[in-house]
Structure 1
Amino acid sequence: MLRRPAAVILCLLIFIGFTGCNNQKKPQTTGKIVTSVTFNAMKEFVYAVGKDKVEIATLIPDGIEPHDFEPKARDIAQIADSSVFVYNGLSMESWVDQAIASADNKNLIVVEASKGAAPIKASESDSDSDYKQYDPHLWISIKGAEIEAKNIKDALIKASPKDKEYFEKNYSDFISQLESIYSEYSEKFKTLTNKNFVTGHAAFAYLCRDFGLNQKSVEDVFAEGEPSAKKLAELADYCKKFNVKTVFTENMVSPSVSKTLADQVGAKVETIYTFESNEDNLSYIDRMKYNLSKIYGSMK
């Protein structure tokens, strides 16, 4: 998430300076719906619904933490040249309103993918500003993915009504895959008495809501700062109380503190996915299955 709004404003002013006399969209010659998205999970949802009817540009490169991203003038230009712009919302992208205004694309279909979801509040210790009121990680949840895919599907239909049946079918196929995973793991988690697990940062609250699980995390919702010695001690006590044998970490978060905790309690460290980047060239569905398999296995 952005922490330096002045830099964002500067980028937007630069963009306005060199595009003020020519804010017309570039001709679209591919026949596809040119769609800009903020990060990889949004790209995967757009592709799941749009497939070969969409041309997708991802603003935040793989390997860049979306919480820390600052848009450049070229990113605003990309939005200006798009028919559809998809962002997660829940203040994941604090710069988005300024970017849309600066793009000055009056025909742009803007999709707040999380619209309609019941947000989970960030804890007081996690939230130090108005734009961090809520946990933004809706896309890591199966039910959250379903909401985001529907909002994207509706936008693509608006952009190309003639392809409505195509988008509806792709959306239905994607939802069926998600529901199949949900049904499988709903039954599996019901058989467990221990539903507690420990993660590198607190990104899995919506997934926990899907299945009635409990997460404790080394870092907060926004992966900011190092945990105190007191917090690490509390986490160590938690691991011992619930017999936690695996401390999870994520590709976009340093594993060092997770390893320190794991060493203290005799646990192993394993990586699970947050879908923010294109990790290991696996699809969203494959990574969701992997995550749930690992989390379920850690509780048995």
Structure 2
Amino acid sequence: MKKSKTWLTILLGAVIILTTACGNSSAVKIEEGKVNIVTSFYPLYYMAKEIGGDHVNVMNLIPSGVEPHDWTPKSVDLQNVSQAQIMLYQGAGFEGWIGDFKNGLDNNSKVKLIEASKGISLIEGTNAEEESGHGHEHGHNEESGHHHENEEGHSHEGGVDPHTWVSPKSAIVMAENVKKALIDADSSNKAYYEERHKQLHDKLVTLDKQYSDSIKQTSKKDIIVSHHAFGYLARDYGINQHAIMGIAPNAEPRAQDILRLTKLVEEKQIKYIFFEELVSDTLAKTLASEAKVETLVLNPLEGLTKEQEAAGDNYLTLMERNLQHLLKALQ
């Protein structure tokens, strides 16, 4: 019991040294003769580039290596977005700043703000101690998750889980929304956008089938992750997600949360604890060390690291890597 209290103190202490990413917005440069699109984070940037091709100029607000939960827009971002034709944002409460952002746009701006998660059955947000995968998730209709725009920062607790893009099934819906936005803004290139969307759609459908077929064959169904970013993945592919922290990666776990997870490791014979690349791995690695298990990366794809960007990684390659890591942990 004494040993248990000692490492519990270490684990809780590790929370206070979680690193916070920072950085300036990526350069936003408007190009004449193209549809100028600003995206709020990486997955939407990827989809807009893939579907828009040569006819679009896509600019991401958040630089490589920066965790979206740690980022808020500045006045210069408002000025830049005001000049674009489209702004793609996730919605479902992910961008807690979006309400004020809309109100701050130039009155003369013709930019259309598109909510990419529209049409996805959303999952009710839960606190870390309540998370046990799809058993605690509740589907919502389209409108139920779209009343959170005035939330401060990225505090999602008690609202809805915004991390839809981590599931290929949801990514298919998001890509459809991006395609529609492009066609609405540039109908003369409708056939071009539809063809490129079909190519991306087919890749996402293939990815969805790979996840479904592979995970169905695994003997284990429980994973421990850094924060509650994989609820849609869990729901769509029959996995139970258990998070150290809440929906936001900077949420603090309670003592009973950590005790529950260490007990779960033993009961479910879990061999790996997942951590993320854009937030500190201190807590996950400390928990893994005490539980005598190993760690693996499970990427929530909220952004690319500079190394991933240089290596040419993208949404598809990282999701394929996630699948391989999941299969390793679930065998």
Say yes or no: TM over 0.5.
Answer: yes
Q: What is the CA-CA distance between 1:30 and the residue it aligns to? A: 3.4
Contact 1:201 1:253 in 2 (8 A): no
Structure 1 residue 126 displacement after superposition: 8.6
TM-fit CA distance, 1:199: 0.8
Which of 212, 222, 238 is 2:264 aligned to? Answer: 238
What residue identity is the alignment partner of 2:70? D
2:120 alignment partner in structure 1 = 117
8 Å contact from structure 1 (residues 114, 138) kept in 2: yes
RCO (CA 8 Å, sep 6+): is it higher in 1 or 2? 2
Post-superposition CA distance 1:69-98 (Å, at most 9, x none): 221011001110100000000111122122
Map of 1:292 onto structure 2 = 323
Q: How does 1:171-190 map to 2 (within 5 A)?
A: 171-190=197-216
Indicate if the aligned counterparts of 1:153 and 1:167 stay in contact, CA closer than 8 A: yes
Q: Is the 2:38–2:59 Cα contact (8 Å) retained in structure 1?
A: yes
For 1:156 and 1:260, how far apart are their aligned partners in 2? 46
Cα 1:29–1:224 shift into 2, 3 Å = closer
Quick one: distance in 2 between partners of 1:228 and 1:210? Answer: 28
Determine the structure 2 residue equivalent to 1:138: 164
Confirm whether residue 197 of structure 1 aligns to residue 204 of structure 2.
no
Q: 1:147, CA displacement in angstroms?
A: 1.1
Q: Secondary structure at the match of 1:248?
A: strand
Paired with 2:320 and 2:128, the residues of 1 have a C-alpha distance of: 31
Once residues 97 and 253 of structure 2 are traced to their aligned partners in structure 1, the CA distance between those partners, rounded to angstroms, is: 27
Residues 1:65 and 1:298: Cα distance change in structure 2 (over 3 Å):
same
Distance in structure 2 (CA, Å) of the matches to 1:294 and 1:204? 14
Kindly tell me: are residues 43 and 288 of structure 1, through their superposed partners in 2, closer, same or farther at Cα, counting changes over 3 Å? same
Partner of 1:266: 292
Cα distance in 1 for partners of 2:30, 2:72 equals 27
Match of 2:47 in 1: 45
Deviation, 1:152, is 0.7
Give how far 1:53 is off. Answer: 1.4
Question: How far apart, CA to CA, are the structure 2 residues paired with 1:125 and 1:187?
Answer: 29
Deviation >3 Å, runs of 4+: 27-30, 124-127
Q: Provide TM-score, normalisation by structure 2.
A: 0.78
CA gap 1:193/1:288 in 2 versus in 1, 3 angstroms: same
CA distance in 2, matches of 1:30, 1:247: 48
Verify the 8 A CA contact 2:82 2:110 in the aligned structure 1.
no
Q: Which moved more, 1:140-149 or 1:221-230?
A: 221-230
Secondary structure (helix, strand or coil) at the match of 1:219 reads: coil
Count of residues in Structure 1 that have an aligned counterpart in Structure 2: 273
Q: Distance in 2 between matches of 1:75 and 1:188?
A: 42
Q: Is the 8 A contact 1:62 1:276 kept in 2?
A: no
CA distance in 2, matches of 1:64, 1:58: 12
Structure 2 gaps, min length 5: 1-28, 131-146
Please report the RMSD computed on the Cα atoms of aligned residues, expressed in angstroms.
Answer: 2.0
Identity of aligned residues (%): 29
Aligned to 1:223: 249
Amino acid at match of 1:283: N
Gaps of 5+ in 1: 1-26
Structure-to-structure mapping, 1:125-164, within 5 angstroms: 131=151, 132=156, 133-164=159-190
Q: Distance in 2 between matches of 1:188 and 1:50?
A: 31
Contact 1:86 1:112 in 2 (8 A): yes
Q: Residue 28 of structure 1: CA displacement?
A: 6.0
Q: Distance in 1 between matches of 2:32 and 2:83?
A: 13
Aligned CA distance change for structure 1 residues 221 and 165 (closer, same or farther; 3 Å): same
Is the deviation greater in 92-101 or in 102-111?
102-111
Q: Do the aligned residues in 2 keep the contact of 1:202 with 1:217 (CA within 8 Å)?
A: yes
- How far 1:212 sits from its partner (Å)? 1.0
Q: Using the TM superposition, give the Cα deviation of residue 229 of structure 1 relative to its aligned residue in structure 2, in angstroms.
A: 2.7
Cα deviation, residue 139, structure 1: 1.1
Q: Shift of residue 292 of structure 1?
A: 1.1
Q: Give the CA deviation at 1:61.
A: 2.0
Q: Is 2:42–2:301's contact at 8 Å kept on the other side of the alignment?
A: yes
Q: Is the aligned partner of 1:93 residue 2:125? A: no
Question: 2:11 aligns to what?
Answer: none
Q: Deviations over 1:265-284 (max 9, x none)?
A: 21111122122222312110
Please tell me the residue identity of whatever aligns with 1:292: L
Question: Quick one: which amino acid aligns to residue 74 of structure 1?
Answer: V
